[in-house]
Amino acid sequence: MAPTDNELVVRCLQQDEYAWQLLVERHSHRILNIAFQFTGRREEAEDLAQEIFLRVYRSLRRFDLSTGFLPWLVRVSRNLCIDEYRSRAREKASLLGEEPDPERTPDRRPGPLQNLEEKELEETVRRGLEKLSGELRTALILRDLQGLSYAEIAEALELPEGTVKSRIHRGRLELAQILSREPARGGGPRQGPAGGGEGVKR
């Protein structure tokens, strides 16, 4: 039987390098996806994922073994991604000579979003996500793109589960409204997602 994440963490704390390798291999795809949602570029996401695992390794002694490893890993990843996002926003604002406004400056670079097949839709959804507030965008990314449960998101964000569900519901509604205003390729407004507010729910 494969060891649990927490068992691997204990072995890591005992300087077991193979245990750390197993942890990284087990979660590398998820962490890379999280990093990509925040950067929009594969190379930047790979660099950020390495930074995330480095921070995780340095912080293992602070992990509470009575809790789940995955929500803690997601929380560390999210915090580092947000730090990177804010740093990029400040740098961009400095180059433009204005104050950063992450909600006003969507990233329009194309890039594949998980399980979204059409390139045009990928770009449209990414622009829509960038227009959401940080708290709604993060909740939607973790739920609809990363597939975490409500309980896992609540633990990762240190919020009540009811608050998480509320943010996801609001995020889907706002994203649906944003997408309905996006011009279609042939001109004219794009029809919003079916279901009135389900957004990118799979």
Domain final position from 45, 72, 105: 105
Could you say which of 85, 105, 125 is where a domain stops? 105
- What pLDDT is attached to residue 199? 42
Q: Are residues 15 and 114 in the same domain?
A: no
pLDDT at site 176: 82
Q: Which helix (H) or strand (E) holds 175?
A: helix 161-181
Radius of gyration for the alpha carbons in the chain, expressed in angstroms and rounded: 18
63 and 115, same structural domain? no
Q: What is the pLDDT along the chain (202 residues), one digit of tens a residue?
A: 889 999 999 999 998 999 999 999 999 998 988 888 777 778 888 888 888 898 899 889 999 999 999 999 988 888 888 777 666 555 555 554 544 444 444 444 443 444 444 556 666 777 788 888 888 888 888 888 777 888 888 887 888 989 999 988 888 888 888 877 766 544 444 444 444 444 444 4
User: What is the number of other CB atoms lying within 10 angstroms of the CB of residue 133?
Assistant: 14
Domain, as residue range, for 157: 106-202
Count of domains forming the chain = 2
Mapped onto helix, strand or coil, the DSSP state of residue 158 is: coil
**CB neighbours (10 Å) of residue 190?**
16
